Amino acid sequence: MTAPLDGVVVADLSRVLAGPLAASMLADLGATVVKVERPGTGDDTRQWGPPWTETSSSYFECANRSKQSVELDLDDPDDRSLAVELTRRADVVIENYRSGALDRRDLGYEQVAARNPGVVYASISGFGSAGGRDLPGYDFLVQAVGGLMSVTGDPAEPTKVGVALVDVLTAKDATIGILAALREREASGRGQRVEVNLLSSLLGSLANQASGFLTTGRAPAAMANQHPSIAPYETLSAADGLVAVCCGNDGQFRRLAQVLELPRLADDPRFATNPARVEHRPALVAALEKQLGQGPVAAWVDQLQAAGVPAGAVGSVADAFALAERLGLRPTVDVGPDAPPQVRNPITLGRTPISRYAAPPRLGEHTNDVRRWLTEGEGS
């Protein structure tokens, strides 16, 4: 079965998470991805552990499956010439080097495009190619300066999200840009540069929080698990833990009140509409938690879900995988007998499903094959 990106060659010159993850998504979709790594050490994330796998770190492996690894020293003239040849043959180049670093090695966009006019050259940076071109960018730093920490967690202390979410969002933006440029190339025959940066991807992902600021001029603040515009849309205390309750409309709230045997709550002028509930949130929460405190989380969740009220227990990552399994979502895939399972690509394609998953490569595993391909002619 033909994969959507069969025949597309990707030169992955990126490191850490955003770039490698974008390249990994393209590999899932059928592209041939050649990952260029520093001899001896490879991608920084190979040393980011624990946890460790048999050949690397679990961090590295989450973003580098189904790739070929080649060790090339870009400061060595012979190795650099091979990297230049790789970018000449590639349909896509992905890089996240500091500004100017690849230009000095004859691998910058203008240089690559002169040799390969059809190339889609994706550059990923922390803060863009203008005033922030010389600033290093890491996910945690951008979460801090980009406002995400200010709206996350308890109001008393800005808190980072528990995963490198900005890197992940930027990877998805990069993938979308690359696919769009490949599609446009079919019409024009020309490649182009795709630029994404962590700060812009974060701002674009702040959604209602960003829109609220642009509307009012007031920066939003952290509200723990509460929503600034909807109530109840938060965690509420039951007898033995927390229930996540999401009432996105008045009908759902009315059903919530009925399950809790508080039908008058839905007719109370303080709670009859969402704006009123947001305004009187403390009184609303007190009334709801008084009733929820009389029963366990599991019982309330069963009743609420049966009534069509979006609700669930606050669970762990293990609970999340178990839930996905129960729902038939097939959340994991096997990538080889000696490698731990990985998260399945969340995209489902009806006619050309993603069907090829291979283990993340050992450092330099494909060096000889790639060198031979680059020096002996076309075809791999």
CATH number of domain containing 68: 3.40.50.10540
Please give the single-letter amino acid code of residue 8: V
pLDDT in tens, 161-208: 999 999 999 999 999 999 999 999 999 999 999 999 999 999 999 999
Residue 1 pLDDT > 80: no
Mean pLDDT confidence for 6-31: 98
* Structural domain contains residue 4: no
253 contact partners, CB below 8 Å, separation of at least 6 = 232, 247, 266, 271, 274, 277
Which of 43, 91, 167, 173 is flagged as catalytic? 167
For residue 377, the model assigns a pLDDT of: 63
Least confident of 79-88, 124-133, 233-242: 124-133
Residues 68 and 95 sit within 8 Å (Cβ to Cβ): no
Is there a catalytic annotation at residue 167? yes
Residue 379 pLDDT > 60: no
* Structural domain contains residue 253: yes
What is the C-alpha radius of gyration for the chain, rounded to an integer number of angstroms?
Answer: 25
Same domain, 57 and 194: yes
State how far the Cα of 299 lies from the Cα of 47, in Å rounded to an integer. 45
Same domain, 258 and 288: yes
- Annotate the chain with three-state secondary structure: CCCCCCCCEEEECCCCCHHHHHHHHHHHCCCEEEEEECCCCCCHHHHCCCCECCCCEHHHHCCCCCEEEEECCCCCHHHHHHHHHHHHHCCEEEECCCCCCCHHHCCCHHHHHHHCCCCEEEEEECCCCCCCCCCCCCHHHHHHHCCCHHHCCCCCCCCCCCCCHHHHHHHHHHHHHHHHHHHHHHHHCCCEEEEEEHHHHHHHHCHHHHHHHHHHCCCCCCCCCCCCCCCCEEEEECCCCEEEEECCCHHHHHHHHHHCCCHHHHHCCCCCCHHHHHHCHHHHHHHHHHHHCCCCHHHHHHHHHHCCCCEEECCCHHHHHHHHHHCCCCCEECCCCCCCCEECCCCCCCCCCCCCCCCCCCCCCCHHHHHHHHHHCCCC
For residue 157, the model assigns a pLDDT of: 92
Residue 226 pLDDT > 70: yes
> Is beta strand 342-343 parallel, antiparallel or unpaired with respect to 332-333?
antiparallel
Mean pLDDT confidence for 83-108: 97
- Domain encompassing residue 259: 233-313
Same domain, 187 and 265: no
Same domain, 106 and 70: yes
* Structural domain contains residue 221: no
Mean pLDDT confidence for 315-344: 95
Mean pLDDT confidence for 357-368: 96
Mean pLDDT confidence for 266-272: 97
Same domain, 280 and 354: no
Nearest to 148, CA basis, from 109, 195, 112, 201? 201
Q: Which two three-digit tokens encode residue 301?
A: 């969740």
Residue 378 pLDDT > 80: no
Same domain, 355 and 305: no
The angle subtended at Cα 371 by Cα 10 and Cα 356, nearest 5°, is: 40
Which residue's structure tokens are 């019982």?
A: 299
CATH of the domain at 287: 3.30.1540.10
Same domain, 25 and 144: yes
Same domain, 22 and 166: yes
pLDDT in tens, 22-67: 999 999 999 999 999 999 999 999 999 999 999 899 999 999 999 9
Same domain, 264 and 340: no
* Structural domain contains residue 320: no
Same domain, 180 and 309: no
* Structural domain contains residue 216: no
Q: In what order do the strands lie in the sheet with 32-37?
A: 67-71, 32-37, 9-12, 92-95, 120-125, 192-197
Same domain, 22 and 49: yes
State how far the Cα of 348 lies from the Cα of 235, in Å rounded to an integer. 31
Residue 380 pLDDT > 50: no
Average pLDDT, the chain: 96
Same domain, 44 and 183: yes
* Structural domain contains residue 214: no
Please give the single-letter amino acid code of residue 161: V
Mean pLDDT confidence for 239-254: 97
* Structural domain contains residue 134: yes
For residue 47, the model assigns a pLDDT of: 96
Which residue's structure tokens are 């969740």?
A: 301
* Structural domain contains residue 323: no
> Is beta strand 120-125 parallel, antiparallel or unpaired with respect to 32-37?
unpaired
- Count the domains in the chain: 2
Residue 346 pLDDT > 90: yes
Residue 143 pLDDT > 90: yes
